[in-house]
Amino acid sequence: MRINEAYEHEPILPYQSEENCPQTGCNKTATQCVDVAAVATLAPAAVFGTPTFTCQGSPSTVCVTNEEGTLCTVTFTQRVCMSIPIRYSVTMTPGESSIACANSDAAGTGGSCSCCC
């Protein structure tokens, strides 16, 4: 569509200044933006089940004699594997939503507001 096609069938009305507003009133469009916040709190949860243990391989032994030859320290080492079933989850609690006026211009007229989705 050409730009002038929209106006070919309607006459263009002359601009009405504020002082010459008709007695029937003036149509104006005012715009005010607001900021809306939605809050959600997430809480983690982990529940442990009953653990099980298994020995892997044979134990190793290390024996160390002190310098005087009066003591021996024996260290036994066994690899032990532990399995724990864990159930992980998250719960959500909705919070209170809030609203606030968006920043307005210095004159307090609301300024321009561009919205897009």
pLDDT at 108 over 90: no
**Predicted confidence (pLDDT) per residue in 48-77, tens digit:** 999 999 999 999 999 999 999 999 999 999
Give the three-state DSSP class for 57: strand
Q: Is residue 58 part of a domain?
A: yes
Distance CA 33, CA 82 (A): 58
Task: Give the max Cα distance, the chain.
Answer: 117
Distance CA 92, CA 41 (A): 6
Alpha-carbon Rg for the chain, nearest whole angstrom, is 39
pLDDT at 109 over 90: no
Q: Is residue 78 part of a domain?
A: yes
Q: Is residue 27 part of a domain?
A: no
Least confident of 16-20, 31-35, 49-53, 88-92: 16-20
What domain count does the chain have? 1
Distance CA 65, CA 60 (A): 17
Distance CA 93, CA 38 (A): 11
Can you give the residue range of the structural domain that contains 49? 43-64+74-91
Contact by Cβ (8 Å): 89, 48: no
Q: Is residue 87 part of a domain?
A: yes
DSSP string, 59-90: EEEEEEE-TTSS-EEEEEEEEEEEE--EEEEE
Q: Is residue 34 part of a domain?
A: no
Distance CA 114, CA 117 (A): 10
Q: Is residue 51 part of a domain?
A: yes
Q: Is residue 79 part of a domain?
A: yes
Q: Is residue 104 part of a domain?
A: no
